[in-house]
Amino acid sequence: MSVDVSYEVALPHGALQLSVSAASDLGSVRRINEDSMLVAPGLFLVADGMGGHSFGDRASQCVVATFSAAIATASKLTPELIVQAIHDSNSAIIDLSDGDDSVSGTTLAGIALVEVGTGTAPRWMAFNVGDSRVYSWNGRQLEQVTVDHSAVQELLDLGEITLLEASTHPERNIVTRALGIHRDVDPDLWLLPVDNQHVFLACSDGLSKELDDDLIAGILADRAAVSEGQSIADRLVAAALSAGGADNVTVIVVEAERAGSDSVTDEETRDRGIPQHLEQTQPRK
């Protein structure tokens, strides 16, 4: 499954041209693709149904359905709308298991172009629950914006293991947060300025567990290697499959370029007017 679309979004200081490519694959081992994705105007997300749980594919599909319903009736995307959709998704997944001993769960990661208040510039809002990721690529450097909610990440934060040890740690598949497990869900959120040019990558761990950051950055940088009829998302998925494809792999690449940006000052792109009741988690250093 793949998606490749381009369109413009009107901003106060010039249009933002968006080019979006997305791809998802079963992988080389799994028999069911438990990943789901949503590519909608200004909203891009990946949900990875939790392997080993009942109805993981239904859980990830439930997230897509809930977000789709939320934005269908909304006049604009806001941080509050995104947060509410996350909580509604959590409740909907729990309802899948009502009256049954089975448990459904899914991770979630995404990026949205949101309005944060009157008189302020739009922001990119990144969000995640679990170990699906959002990366930021500025043409030179790849940065993981989200922080994994996983047992391995907690060990890394405590300094008890190294990044090299994390890649083969026996608990590398254990997530510490997910949708559909508890009645309360605690997403992490980031509000980021809209730069003149930027690329975001949202992916399930089927990509990040097969390719390290350097390999991902190399593919994003080497556009000449993308063949005709193939998107950058297709190439990332193909690389993950070539590396083993042990899990479902889903990738969304959002390329944004703003026209008429000379008139926009640094001050106008700073994070002003962010609602105080919304947590901003610091990006990983």
- What average pLDDT does the segment 81-87 reach? 98
Question: Does residue 273 have a pLDDT over 70?
Answer: no
Q: What is the mean pLDDT of the chain?
A: 85
Best-predicted range by mean pLDDT (53-62, 186-195, 275-284): 186-195
d(CA 208, CA 276): 32
Question: Does residue 263 have a pLDDT over 50?
Answer: no
- What average pLDDT does the segment 257-268 reach? 54
Closest-CA residue to 132 (of 58, 220, 201, 39): 201
Structure tokens at 245: 């494809």
The model's confidence at residue 264, banded by pLDDT at 50, 70 and 90, is very low
Closest-CA residue to 47 (of 70, 38, 177): 38
Structure-token match 């254990």, residue found = 174
Residues of the chain above pLDDT 90, percent: 60
- CATH code: domain 2-269 is 3.60.40.10
Q: Any idea where the domains of the chain sit in the sequence?
A: 2-269
Query: pTM here?
Result: 0.87
pLDDT of residue 101: 61
Sorted by sequence, the CB contacts under 8 Å of residue 274 that are 6+ apart come out as 79, 116, 117, 123, 191, 280
What three-state secondary structure class fits 232? helix
- What average pLDDT does the segment 251-279 reach? 58
Q: Which of 40-54, 90-104, 263-277 has the lowest mean pLDDT?
A: 263-277
pLDDT of residue 260: 57
Please say whether the beta carbons of 59 and 180 come within 8 A: yes
pLDDT of residue 129: 97
Please say whether the beta carbons of 115 and 43 come within 8 A: no
Instruction: Return the higher-pLDDT residue of 79 and 6.
Output: 79
Question: Does residue 103 have a pLDDT over 50?
Answer: yes
Q: Which residues pair with 201 in a beta bridge?
A: 135, 253
pLDDT of residue 276: 46
The model's confidence at residue 79, banded by pLDDT at 50, 70 and 90, is very high
What tens digit of pLDDT does each residue of 26-41 get? 999 988 999 999 999 9
Please say whether the beta carbons of 175 and 107 come within 8 A: yes
